[in-house]
Structure 1
Amino acid sequence: MRILIVTSRMAEPLINEVVKEIKESFYSKDLMIDVVASKVPVAALMTTKDLDDLMDGLRYRLKLYDAVLVPGLLIGDIEIVCKKYDLRRCYKGSKYAGDLHKVIEALLNGVELSTREPADNILLRDEENVSRRFFEERSLEAFYIKNLKIPKRSPPLLLAHEIVIKGDLDKDLKMFNMLYDKRYIDIIVVGTEVGSDRPEYIRKIFREMIKMSDKPLAIDSLNIKEIEAAVSEEASLVMNLSRSFENWIDRLNMINSDLAYIVVPENVGGGTAIERAEACIKEYDYFYDKGLRKIILDPVIPPPLFGSIEALYSISLIKRRLENVPTLLGASNIYELIDADSVGIITFLTAMAIETGASLMLLTEESWKSKGSFDYASRSVELVHRAVKKRSPPIDVG
């Protein structure tokens, strides 16, 4: 195989060194690797236009190569450039030179990489999917939301990530675009601000989101017109249903009778674990009698110092009584409302979600200190999945 590696001007010496090591490690006369550098100084500043300009100057040489790798940090999707020059195996490589060896090995083994996502992300996801698939194959199905199997209890623990839209289509879609292809994101929740009344905007943004992703989409709004608009554009899950809003059901069933609902209690008494669990079970019975079958119970976790431990324990109590009904742990109410590192808190809550049997964990990135929480949660889920598989504490799991 003959591979062309595209890099930046400043990285070229390092890439040449790495390529030399790769050639020596594979001991294959059939492997030939050439390196070409763009005029752009660093890979993170390269765009598809820069790649197009470089490929145009090499167009007569390109047919010599079986595969082309470009920097993983290059901005944008390179698919159009690849098609323009008839490059059938043209992908984004790794973000860092040290991972190039794994990328070359994957190419030689026939792994399909991406024109949009760095190769190291793809390879890491493949490694992580092993533990996820292990639990998915063994989990008991409660129901499906779109194409997503909701387990009766974790593992696997599913992640729902909520973004709050502001009304600027370009900015809101950019926020969605950054989210939808991240690993371990199972459901994307579109939240609206308090007092929002923009059903036509909701309709428009859901229409665009559905084109971009096949993940289930949820709507979190207190405005029935916005919810109807989202459901009419294929939202599969409605957040925060309680008896105060039970009049939603008939209106929404006329649009989609197969909706799933997150059901929350309106009154948890003194907020003890037993009272909160009883309140959730009563809500389940009430809405089941109303004809709903796809119900996920959310005991609504309050902030630290206001009953969060009782609420976490209530999930375990709910699962003892309703073992076939999925539950949700709203992690953001804890890590968003404490001035401490979100990384450790999210990892702890991930372990608690699986220990209590929650099927789903909800996350946000609303405060400045919680930025990156979606990625932290993805890593935490993998850590805890591996630990459960090994039957060990979440430490030293590889």
Structure 2
Amino acid sequence: MEQVSDFWAATRVISEALDGLDHAAVSHMSDTEKVRAMTCLRTLSRRLDVSARVVTDVVSKACAVDRATGLMLSDFLAREEGRSASEGLGEVHRAAAITANSQVRDAALAGTITPEHAVAIGQQMRTLPVGEMTRDEEDAAAGQFIDAARSTAPGQLSRKTASILETAAPRLAPSPRDRAGRTAARRKHAVAERRFCWGEDGNGSIWFSGKLPELEGRTLIGTLQAFTEKGRQAERAEREALRAQRNQGVISSRQYLALRRETDARGARTTAQRMADALVDAAHLLAGKGLVPSAGGQPPRIVVTIGYQYLRDALQGMIDAGTFEGEVPVHAGTLRRLCCDAQILPVVLGSDSQTMDVGRSERLVTPGIRRALEHRDGGCIYPGCTVPGHLCQAHHVCPFWDGGATSLDNLVLVCRHHHAVV
């Protein structure tokens, strides 16, 4: 009972100490003290986080929530903390990973390693042949992981696992031939699992999801990181140039502050936002240098559709919007920005929604006819086929060699596969 009383007494002390923190006092500290205050509180926060997870694992192993409330622990955490069920389950698993080895748990409680490192180490310890390792070998492996955590990000600790096993328990380490076989199998699995998907979120954005084999993925990450670092360097250079212009009297202090606000707003982007911008910048760079390959004989482009009456209204300044392919609305301001880089084709529709004009006519399957085909057919006309128009080929209904005209009413879009069928 005395231990229980001590536990609750300690939690009260922590709670009272947090209540007594004067956050406003930090603004009066020197820069060095501010950094020290931040580091101190962040370390304490991590230690409290680990303490909460250690107790969470105790509750999990004792099935205390189940007996006290009739709920699973993951569901209880989801309800009490406003999490999803999967997030609640993830908390349970992470708590178990931290406490899997007492040495790792104690290092995390002491603040020697972060909670994220403790979770990563716990997960990697489970990949070792712990059942065949002696207690000393297991402790040696845990100690090496803890040492590695001081200079290695949590997500990179898995790269240390093989060498740690060789050092801590060399008798259990796989042979070079076994390692080569596992590496080859891992690569084969990663290649088979590669994917890249996207879709519209219905709120003006397009989501992306996927994964790549490690080599290709790191190439992409390195490229995007290079773009983000270039952006940061440009922001630093711009700030330095503004300071120099102010000091030289080229701009006033008022102008300097206004320009700095704009620069600081760009600098406030999150890492995720910077990476997203880097991906777009990379795509624009490829397109600007003419390095984007063509599909179906045409380079990628944006088609903007506008009805005839809307066109008349637009000329009179009465409207300010259009649509992308797929009837997705787009603001005219966005369109004007896109027009600087993209190939924009105006498709004018009559009152019955038939294509009236797609630009000047040319001989054979001209770009204009091709674009009209894509607008009319939308994609491969073969029943059930979902291949989009820009990846399809133009097919003559009445063969060209049999006198068929290369005109809109004698052409249809079919994908490469179905072109061989029709």
User: What TM-score bracket applies, with the shorter chain setting the length?
Assistant: under 0.3
Structure with the bigger percentage of strand? 1
- TM-score, normalised relative to structure 1: 0.25
Normalised to the residue count of structure 2, the TM-score between the two structures is 0.24
Which of the two has higher C-alpha Rg? 2
